[in-house]
Chain A
């Protein structure tokens, strides 16, 4: 009796304005004591609903159509509230997706943690237990942590508090619902290693719900793949990555851009879109499946075991190995005409909170320096990526280039002519040649205008006459049917809206396209499609791209050169292969290590997190405070020099290049350099 929790044939529907929609179809699986089961799928596949069901929770507008969730012989879905109250927080814990909203803003965190302990009868030695728990999640170094309010903590710290609450009563099972979405990559890595460590120590079982397959590779022992409410594959993690059998799983794995893959490889993305209204009675994936036949559409597929550790819901599983693997495309020659640079940023500094004009002189505000002394040259036809975490200033740079935010100092030149800082002062031609695509497709299209009108406006403005034809051509360019012109944005999916935004930018026939995190708001498979689209369009029109992103894997796939930003300062810049190969700037190294990789299913020893030095007032190297290899006062008092490698990579660091190259292998500082932390 190794099973802790068993889900049996769970079917569930949600009620909305237009009736009941089935969201889970006959889902069955078990979680064994002490194992980590990962549940992966894209948005709307029902994984979060299952996670909540393991706590006996269903939303108010949900209805159980069939099935049970068995824990110690009891069906959690049919228990009374009082009985559930006893189990929840005590035997079964929950770590939420958004820790900021999950903590009561008006209650101190210590009080919220203590509440859980008190409610479940563990009030002896409360103070000590609180200290112990905060120490367990790595928060003991924060002064008087128990008395803090949630808003005084960072996202990562808030999530640690939530983990502490989930573990307070030593539960048998912890359900985690996308616990690291919305956190920075490096914070994400810290949380994952914390979870791994805790599991090793406490031995509880986990259900880890996420859309990120790479994450599961770090932590899960078994993985279940969900599509449109069906569990389509369930296997031991290693097995799943080595031999995925369900076509959807293969497409999902193929959609994730790889950091290590050679540049030329294009992943094999999933075709088409999930349309809930058009789901066939049989396998839900059949409309998009390259192997589908009539039988697939008719016959519902049950999850069937193909050997002890592997179950698939596809009758064609013996043939699906044919699909595995990448499609290799010969590497394109490096792009970018640097002789005629398209965009130059010379010594650009940008700040927020600067008041202009008379008011600015009378009441100088407290400007916040967002970008400092940036020097970047982008050649015609090349794709330059700007990477960094949130707050690094990359979007600020984009806004300055487009003319929305004037730099405090420095120049921006386009085609060798200096650009006016504000967009209103630029020429119409300059405005046309620089186009911008925003992150959030919901906000970047006027909800009250039809797609056709949205696309026609730039055409009209920049003086072309054959509007209808151009709009249809633009839609075709982004692979949308001409009927889309009559639709309103809210009738389109997220991916479709982003395509319209791209079409709108292209219809002006620009030279420079600024892509500001254009993939971040989309599902993984949709991301792959849009990425594909951008590459093709760039090839066809010889576009120059300024590509802003925090996602290194995407950048690896599309960029020619990369600049790495930390707190508004350029740390490293160079051709994309050089950036991803040693020697790395210490910050680049930490970013690369933080990215979850599918290949490393083995447990990797995590690097100890960097110690934030206490008394660092405006160090010369912006990264000094967080750098694991900081050279003491050198990094604080002296401006780090730019060092250049043979392959065109430039790194701004005091540590010599040979030692930097050695860092990624050894994982520790060579003895020669002195490390003194003030």
Chain B
């Protein structure tokens, strides 16, 4: 005789929360700190970001000037604080834009298959064959001299660099998910392609896409910093960290703190983002490869 089965108790939210990996918690803490400073910093920074004559130029680090004073007499610490929101905003919005464009293209192409998919794949391959930085620089130059220094250009370029790689990931995900039986069942029901994408593919791809977003967002500060370092990003006197490192580099022998300061800020942000990414990936059961090579 068969009896009606009772459903087993589902695990509660608290147990799930308590199991978050350490990396996630530390990463989230670091990020939270950065966000806090970026948001509130300008309110309590000792000086303005372009304020000069705050102290003796190239003076070593001291309590009054934790990161020293640059050659124009500006307090580097204050500049770092003021620059926090710039990096964060540019990184997150550029990556988000890249994610939206990339995943749409990738998911569609992967599910539809056939000739369309082939063409898209070739195009993506070609774009990915140009190293990150080189592509970004190329785009900068192609945009023409008038737009240089424009933050929107930076956002767009970051999106342009990331979209193909994210699209490739999304395409692979779409192809794999489409092989699973429940997608076949949807096809057997006669569901339209759009409906299948929405109901079956996208919910199962979110974990991959989320991890991709975290991964790319973690490197966007490095990319933006590199652009700034090479003089292709934002223009002085914007307190962008990469730009600052470049500006103060020639005098690193005399005043190392002016380089170490923004460097520390940049590195700690990326560390936080990387840890966060690893934690998210662990929760979602995926592995990530951290590294600029991606």
In the complex, are there CB atoms of A and B closer than 8 Å? Answer: yes
Separation of A18 and B6 alpha carbons in the complex (Å): 23
- Does B253 sit at the interface, judged by CB under 8 A? no
Separation of A262 and B51 alpha carbons in the complex (Å): 97
Question: B7 near A428 (CB under 8 angstroms)?
Answer: no
Of B91-99, B104-112, B131-139, B178-186, which stretch is located at the interface? B178-186
Chain B residue with the shortest CB-CB distance to A399: B184
Residues of A within 8 A of B182 (CB): 443-446
Residues of A within 8 A of B187 (CB): 404, 423-424
Query: A457 contacts which of B4, B180, B189 (Cβ < 8 Å)?
Result: B189
| Per-residue interface assignment for chain A, residues 400 to 411, with 1 indicating a CB less than 8 Å from any chain B CB and 0 otherwise | 001110000000
B22 to chain A, nearest CB (A): 13
A-B contact count (CB 8 A): 85
- Does A476 sit at the interface, judged by CB under 8 A? yes
B12 to chain A, nearest CB (A): 12
- Does A479 sit at the interface, judged by CB under 8 A? yes
Question: B181 near A438 (CB under 8 angstroms)?
Answer: yes
Question: A533 near B2 (CB under 8 angstroms)?
Answer: yes
- Does A529 sit at the interface, judged by CB under 8 A? yes
Question: B3 near A272 (CB under 8 angstroms)?
Answer: yes
A638 to chain B, nearest CB (A): 40
Residues of B within 8 A of A446 (CB): 182, 199-200, 203-204
Question: A480 near B181 (CB under 8 angstroms)?
Answer: no
Question: A483 near B189 (CB under 8 angstroms)?
Answer: no
Given contacts A443-B182, A461-B189, are A449 and B199 in contact (CB under 8 A)?
yes
Question: A440 near B181 (CB under 8 angstroms)?
Answer: yes
**B30-62 contacts to A (CB < 8 Å):** none
- Does A481 sit at the interface, judged by CB under 8 A? yes
Of the four ranges (under 10, 10 to 19, 20 to 34, 35 or more), the interface on chain A belongs to 35 or more
Residues of A within 8 A of B2 (CB): 271, 479, 529, 532-533
Question: A423 near B190 (CB under 8 angstroms)?
Answer: yes
Question: A431 near B190 (CB under 8 angstroms)?
Answer: yes
Question: A423 near B188 (CB under 8 angstroms)?
Answer: yes
- Does B126 sit at the interface, judged by CB under 8 A? no
| Per-residue interface assignment for chain B, residues 192 to 210, with 1 indicating a CB less than 8 Å from any chain A CB and 0 otherwise | 0000000110011010000
Question: B181 near A17 (CB under 8 angstroms)?
Answer: no
Separation of A403 and B190 alpha carbons in the complex (Å): 11
Question: A480 near B5 (CB under 8 angstroms)?
Answer: yes
Given contacts A423-B188, A438-B181, A444-B185, are A481 and B4 in contact (CB under 8 A)?
yes
| Per-residue interface assignment for chain A, residues 427 to 442, with 1 indicating a CB less than 8 Å from any chain B CB and 0 otherwise | 0100100001010100
- Does B10 sit at the interface, judged by CB under 8 A? yes
Residues of A within 8 A of B206 (CB): 448
Question: A483 near B6 (CB under 8 angstroms)?
Answer: yes
Residues of B within 8 A of A529 (CB): 2
Other than the known A423-B187, A461-B190, what 20 A-B pairs have Cβ atoms closer than 8 Å?
A271-B3, A277-B8, A277-B9, A404-B188, A423-B188, A424-B187, A436-B184, A438-B181, A443-B181, A443-B182, A444-B180, A444-B181, A446-B182, A448-B203, A457-B189, A461-B189, A479-B4, A483-B6, A504-B185, A532-B2
**Chain B residues at the A interface, C-beta cutoff of 8 Å:** 1-10, 15, 19, 180-182, 184-185, 187-191, 199-200, 203-204, 206
**Chain A residues at the B interface, C-beta cutoff of 8 Å:** 17-18, 271-273, 275, 277, 402-404, 423-424, 426, 428, 431, 436, 438, 440, 443-449, 457-458, 461, 476, 479-481, 483-484, 487, 491, 496, 504, 529, 532-533
- Closest 8 CB pairs between A and B? A448-B203, A444-B181, A443-B181, A438-B181, A446-B182, A483-B7, A443-B180, A431-B190
Chosen A-B contacts, 18 in total, with CB atoms closer than 8 Å, are: A18-B19, A272-B3, A404-B187, A423-B187, A423-B190, A424-B187, A424-B190, A444-B185, A445-B182, A448-B203, A448-B204, A448-B206, A457-B199, A479-B2, A480-B4, A481-B5, A529-B2, A532-B2
